[in-house]
Amino acid sequence: MAFQPIVDIQTGRPFAFEALVRGVNGEGAGEVLGRVTPENRYAFDQQCRVAAIEGAVAAGILDTDARLSINFLPNAVYSPVACIQLTLKTAQKTGFPTDRLIFEFTENEEMVDSDHVGTIIESYRKMGFGTAIDDFGAGHAGLGLLAKFQTDYIKLDMDLIRGLDTSLPRRMIVE
């Protein structure tokens, strides 16, 4: 895992750290995710959650007030309550406060059942977790996704904000 700061532009301090999956030899997320199959998706998602929490604690996140943002694969979550159990046990074992967890999903993963994704988001919010749409503007659903899911945070795709200072159309979209 690598940890990328999500900086609060008003304070200049990290608000959260996003856990980014990396391969054993440093391969990027695209290469690692390319090896995920329907057969290993659930196990991969669970392993990533554990590695994110344990890695963040080892890196000293508990010495800050920053949150930990973990990407999850909606198609790997067959039951929000059942699939969160290992995450809760890992947080308890490491002393990581669960109210500092944010679960984010990317619109780049095509959703088999969007109603189920809505159930996951609502369940996670009721459990006290933050929720986020990652890479908004880059994937399958666009504004329809935003209208369907009410998350706590929306993370805009890098291609959408790159050149924001010199592009009126990009500024208009973001504003």
- Report d(CA 49, CA 87) in Å as an integer: 6
H or E stretch including 105?
Answer: strand 101-106
Does residue 106 sit in helix, strand or coil? strand
Model pTM greater than 0.75? yes
Render pLDDT for 125-134 as a digit per residue (tens, 0 to 9).
999 999 998 8
Question: Domain extents for the chain?
Answer: 2-174
Return the C-alpha torsion angle 72, 98, 6, 60, nearest 10. -110
Which conformational region is residue 37 in: left (phi greater than 0), alpha (psi within -120 to 50 degrees), or beta? beta
Share of the chain above pLDDT 70, in %: 94
CATH, range 2-174: 3.20.20.450
Render pLDDT for 48-79 as a digit per residue (tens, 0 to 9).
999 999 999 999 999 999 999 999 888 899 99
